[in-house]
Amino acid sequence: METRVALIGIIVENPDSVERLNRLLHEYSACIIGRMGIPYPKREISIISVAVDAPQDKINTLSGKIGKLDGISAKTVYSNIMGKDGEPT
């Protein structure tokens, strides 16, 4: 199956939703290349970047589920690099 490299940008405005967010990320951990979280106390938010390599429908599903969490927004940027599961992209 064809995979894509993407970056999911996440803004957390409701800290009560962080546990559900972490459960989702754990559920999709096989697709995650890496993640970085930055707390921003001045605005009382957190900014998270998640790099993924997965089929586009799987990335869309994850991003959609994240975006449906209360007080959390997500946007996805895709690389033009495509590959096959199990092969370098």
Within 1-89, where are the H helices? 18-27, 56-67
Tokens of 46: 């957190």
pLDDT computed for residue 89 by the predictor: 43
**Sign of the C-alpha dihedral, residues 18, 53, 29, 37?**
negative
- List the chain residues with pLDDT less than 50: 88-89
pLDDT in tens, 50-67: 999 999 999 999 999 999
Mean pLDDT of the chain: 94
Q: Which amino acid is present at 88?
A: P
Task: Kindly indicate whether the domain formed by 2-82 is annotated with CATH number 3.40.50.620.
Answer: no
